[in-house]
Amino acid sequence: MLEIILFFFIVVAGTGGELCVSRAMKSIGEVHGFSPKSILNFILQSLRLPWMWLGIAMMSLGFFSLLAILSFQEVSFVVPVSALSYAAGAFGAKAFLGERISRNRWVGIAVVCLGVTIVWWSRK
Amino acid sequence: MSHTRRLQLKTVPMIVISIILGPIGNVFLGKAMKSVESFNSARVSDLVSIASEVLKSGYLWLGIGCLLGFFIVHMLLLTWADYSYVQPATSLSYLSISVLSYLVLGERISPLRWIGVMVICLGVFLVGRTPPSTTGDTHLA
Cα angle for residues A80, A94, B133 (degrees, 5° grid): 85
CB pair distance less than 8 Å for A115 and B23: no
Could you report the per-residue pLDDT of A25-76, keeping only the tens digit for each?
Answer: 888 877 777 788 888 888 888 889 999 999 999 999 998 898 889 888 899 9
**pLDDT band for position B134 (50/70/90)?**
low
Q: Are A73 and A3 in contact (CB under 8 A)?
A: yes
- Residue pairs between chains A and B whose CB atoms are closer than 8 Å: 198
Q: Which residues of chain A make contact with B29, given a CB cutoff of 8 A?
A: 66-67, 70, 75
**pLDDT band for position B141 (50/70/90)?**
very low
Q: Which DSSP category does A84 fall into?
A: G
- Report which residue type is found at A46: S
Average pLDDT of the residues of chain B: 81
- B38 inside 8 A of chain A by CB: yes
Task: Say how far apart CA B64 and CA B21 lie, in whole Å.
Answer: 10
Count Cβ atoms below 10 Å from residue A99 Cβ, excluding itself. Answer: 20
Q: Out of A29, A83, A105, whose CB is closest to B120? A: A83
Q: Out of B100, B101, B113, whose CB is closest to A122? A: B113
Q: Which residues of chain B make contact with A79, given a CB cutoff of 8 A?
A: 23, 26, 93-94, 97
**pLDDT band for position B12 (50/70/90)?**
confident
- B138 inside 8 A of chain A by CB: yes
Which of A110, A8, A64, A115 minimizes the C-alpha distance to B84?
A110
Q: B45 vs chain A: nearest CA distance in angstroms?
A: 15
Say whether pTM exceeds 0.80: no
Which of A22, A117, A115 minimizes the C-alpha distance to B76?
A22
CB pair distance less than 8 Å for B119 and A111: yes
Task: Say how far apart CA B94 and CA B73 lie, in whole Å.
Answer: 17
Average pLDDT for A97-118: 86
CB pair distance less than 8 Å for B138 and A29: yes
Sort residue B136 into left (φ over 0), alpha (ψ -120 to 50) or beta: left
Which of A82, A43, A111 minimizes the C-alpha distance to B23?
A82
C-alpha separations of A53 from A45, A46, A102, B82 in Å: 12, 9, 30, 20
pLDDT for the residue A98: 80
Higher-scoring residue by pLDDT: B93, A60: A60
Task: Say how far apart CA B102 and CA B120 lie, in whole Å.
Answer: 18
Could you report the per-residue pLDDT of B16-51, keeping only the tens digit for each?
Answer: 888 889 899 999 998 888 887 777 666 767 777 777
Task: Say how far apart CA A78 and CA A4 lie, in whole Å.
Answer: 11
A90 Cβ neighbours under 8 A, 6+ residues apart:
A101, A105, A106, A109, B84
Could you say which residues from 92 to 131 on chain B have a Cβ atom under 8 Å away from some Cβ of chain A? Answer: 93-94, 97-98, 100-102, 105, 107, 109-110, 112-113, 115-130
